[in-house]
Structure 1
Amino acid sequence: MRKIGLLFIGLFISLNMIAQSTSSEAKKLLDEVSSKMGAYNNMVIGFNSSLINREAGITNDPPIRGEITLSGEKYNLDYLGNNFVFDGEKLVIINQEEKEVTISNGDLEEEDGFIYPSKLLTFYKEGYIFSMGRLNNNNGRKVQFVDLTPIDSNSDIIKVQLGIDAKTKHIYKLVQIGSNGAETTFTITRFKSNQPISKNLFLFDKSKYTKQGYFID
């Protein structure tokens, strides 16, 4: 019995060491990706997003296209029929269909349990446990996934799978699985860095939209 007990203790210690090793390896990879992509002066990213919730019978096909230009904390995001402009202090949401503009202090919040494209490089830094996931081969491109599990057991997110191009160390795909059964996927389809962009891209021209009859809140 003593030998069996020692065997189980040894097995537990081994598994714990493996778990710690894969967690450390996963965080190291994420930090490397964040450091590399965060060092660019700017990034222009085209992406597709899809939402599937089989229990509710929801699936968007074809995927929704979007584009985001990032420069430090500033960004200009076209997504879901809205234009999100963040200058580092204030967030402007321009709804072109409703001709309405909403201005608020601070960035997009994640209180609704959704990871926005503007959070791709930073969302993992707080509130998650990491582990190395599967390694995929997509038409010759090796994509290493990292599995992230929220520390908060009441989180609206059950798991996040972040796919990283093993060669470029760029984010390729993000899969978010919600507690309601919904699975949201972002896939980067186009990536350019250090592009010549106008500083006005992150500024809101109030007079322009006032002249066009937008309601500004």
Structure 2
Amino acid sequence: MNPRFAGIGMTSRRTRERMIARLREQGVAHPDVLRVMLETPRHLFVEEALASRAYEDTALPIGFNQTISQPYIVARMTELLLESGPLDKVLEVGTGSGYQTAILAQLVKRVYSVERIYPLQQRARQHLQELQLRNVRFKHSDGGWGWEEYAPYDAILAAAAPSEIPETLLAQMARRSVMIIPVGQGDRQILKRVTRNESGFRVEDIEPVNFVPFLPGIL
């Protein structure tokens, strides 16, 4: 393994193992999610000055007023996404650091990831290439548009909070698909699971969360 991936000190495998133990204590139980998060070097996806904090259970800044989500939220959202079984095509709205993208890429067949901030997207693309994850397509676009070219999707995961669920994303869900998305403003956000069935959509509230807002346009 590349020594940079393995990490030393506060980025070592022992530190990652402590993170996994904490995730188990927090209720994350999916063995594949825990395995992939143990093996994925989260410290690569944050600024070098913050690498020693990469495995703390906290969100960290990545520039452009964006953050890398805390490990618990990444694990929880991924676990919720996988509860319905194996997934082929997944749309990720908000590539951000690329860490969530890397986790998904090791658990589903294909990931289509949309990011509105071009420098973040390029940085994430480089990290995934370094990790030799080749089943991800990237698009620089407004996340609210989704990625219609490859729709419908078996699952959608959004990493920013709109005030309400975008109709465009609902339209890109396949039958019997699931979307995990934070919804709300400020400190009143709720993580929701949207399931599409033959008769329409079922929306469940999962738990309170705190994400960056879902913004229009591209940078």
Structure with more contact order per residue of length (Cα contacts < 8 Å, sep ≥ 6): 1
What TM-score results when the alignment is normalised by the length of structure 2? Answer: 0.31
Structure with higher helix content? 2
Larger Rg: 1
TM-score normalized with structure 1 length: 0.31
Q: Which has the higher strand share?
A: 1
